[in-house]
Amino acid sequence: MTKGFSYISVQTINACPNEQVFTTDMSNAGIVEGRKNSDFNRKRITFGTYSLAYADTTNEMNSRAVPAITLYESNEEDRHYFMSLNSSERLHARKWVQMHIMELFENLLYDFATG
């Protein structure tokens, strides 16, 4: 999570145009990396948010939703990186649902009570 926070901090600072560069139409990330300016009309999720990420698409009845914590956006449109709460590994998902933190605690308490 520390790496994710550092990455999102630098990405956010460089994402918006500012007055200190030679053009106010492009951001620092646009000049150096060739990225487009941020589109704030897209669906986004903030760092550290508890969510369900739909990682693997299969044609079976198994659950595809993985409980995760949001890390940062990827380069692709509407895709994000998440940290899985099951395995602590990084996931890359396009579909996700933001959950309330209370549901996380309810599920953890239920697991402790039954397990």
Q: CB of 52 within 8 A of CB of 67?
A: yes
- Where residue 68 sits, what CATH number does that domain have? 2.30.30
| 57 and 93 both lie in a single domain | yes
Domain ranges, residue 104: 42-115
| 89 and 76 both lie in a single domain | yes
| 73 and 106 both lie in a single domain | yes
| 30 and 65 both lie in a single domain | no
pLDDT in tens, 75-95: 667 788 898 888 888 888 888
| 26 and 55 both lie in a single domain | no
pTM: 0.59
- Name all contacts of 55-62 with Cβ < 8 Å and 24+ positions apart: 55/91, 55/92, 55/93
What's the gap between Cα 26 and its chain centre?
24
pLDDT in tens, 22-70: 666 666 666 566 566 566 667 778 788 888 888 776 777 776 888 888 8
Strands 90-93 and 50-54: unpaired
